[in-house]
Amino acid sequence: MPDSASMHVTAIIAAGGAGRRLGAEVPKQLLEIGGQSMLQRSVTAFLAHPRVTEVIVALPAAITDSPPEWLRPARVVPGGDTRQASVANAFDVVAGHSEIVLVHDAARPFVTAEVISRAIDGAVEHGAAIAALRSSDTVKRVVDEGAAVIVQTLPREEIYLAQTPQAFRRSVLGDAIALGRSGVAGTDEASLAEQAGHPVHIVNGDASNLKITTAADLATAREREAGVGRRPANARIGVGYDLHRLVEGRPLILAGVTVPAERGAQGHSDADVVCHAVTDAILGAARAGDIGQLFPDTDPRWKDASSIALLGSAVAIVRGRGWTIENVDVVIVLERPKLGPHRTAMEERLAGALGVGPDAVSVKAKTNEGMDAVGRGEAIAAHAVALLVRTQD
């Protein structure tokens, strides 16, 4: 497989529809699950992914001019009358040097970093790939739905249930969109790519990557986030700590938020002490190593890397080991500047990277009362505690 580490990867989030089948007064992608809208959960999954370079969101035209604050890192375009049109509008503004383009439905708010990575790898290797699940049920074909007469039993080993993201080399998606604009209809971009003559491959999806279409789907998703129907088997607490020297000429980045300051933290990456402490806390609770093992400062790949993106990778590792992040508590120790005005933004960015609601993240700031290097304003430190829970169905 070609090396994709340095590829420019664009994610398109299709969120331009009204979701009328759900029967809500607002577009369904703006409805909340566990304190976050479906759209926010979907967008932040891609913003936090270390291999995704840019995120473009197709929104209903009515809210394009005043998108929520958390959408600022993404580019917003007005959606069209159909999903196909919304994706085409977003494709028009994809960076010219983008090599891989992902398309994801905002109504799938539980997409994991692992599924995103598999889709990217599939597109790199094959040109087009979609996340999908093999059907575990016997599938019947019915011609007359009214009579409900079965005319064929389909081999279930040949049946896959399509999910998103769908991933394409830029030229392949370009062909699919051009075909759609010519008047050819498709149920998704993959079907248009097929009709344009491109083979589309399957990568493993995830059963948790469910699509919210009906009110019953929404209720199921909310129950899942609230923990209804699951029993905690055990819980673990992890502790993280980080310290960096403050120097001139560096930005001060905390929890992915750039804080106006005279000096910033010195480090191999962006030296975000909050993300580093939280990363070690969740990795420690899951007994999955530490930040120095996963992202060593001797590796040039992590030079000036975004620590909020590295945290997203750590979250994927923790989830892959069967752990759910329940809450995180952070203390920043810094003499100046005052961090109170930035607290909400930091909590929201952390929540997005962790895949939890904002009420599950707490950020506090303290001074060291003039004592030691931190107290003298020469350094910044952060302490973090994370609670992880393993669940059983």
pLDDT tens digits, residue range 42-55?
A: 998 999 898 999 99
pLDDT tens digits, residue range 184-241?
A: 989 999 999 999 999 999 999 988 899 998 888 898 888 877 766 554 558 999 999 9
Domains annotated on the chain, with CATH: 9-226 (3.90.550.10), 231-392 (3.30.1330.50)
Instruction: Tell me what the mean pLDDT of segment 29-38 comes to.
Output: 86
Q: What is the pLDDT of residue 23?
A: 54
H or E element at residue 75: strand 75-78
For residue 237, report the phi and psi dihedrals to the nearest 5 degrees.
-115, 135
Note if the pTM is more than 0.75.
Answer: no
At residue 393, does pLDDT exceed 60?
no
- Per-residue exposure over 52-90, b if at least 16 CB sit within 10 Å of its own CB, e if not: bbbbbbbbbeebeeeeeebbeebbbbbbbeebbbbbbbb
Tell me the β-bridge partners of 243: 381
Q: Which of 76-80, 228-232, 357-361, 386-390 has the lowest mean pLDDT?
A: 228-232
Crossing angle for the helix pair 273-285 and 307-320, nearest 10 degrees? 10
- Residue 322, Cβ neighbours under 10 Å: how many? 13
pLDDT tens digits, residue range 276-302?
A: 999 999 999 999 999 999 998 888 888
Prior bond of 165 cis (ω within 30°): yes
DSSP for residue 342 = G
309 Cβ contact partners less than 8 Å away, ≥ 6 residues apart: 48, 49, 50
pLDDT tens digits, residue range 138-170?
A: 888 888 766 778 889 988 888 999 999 999 999
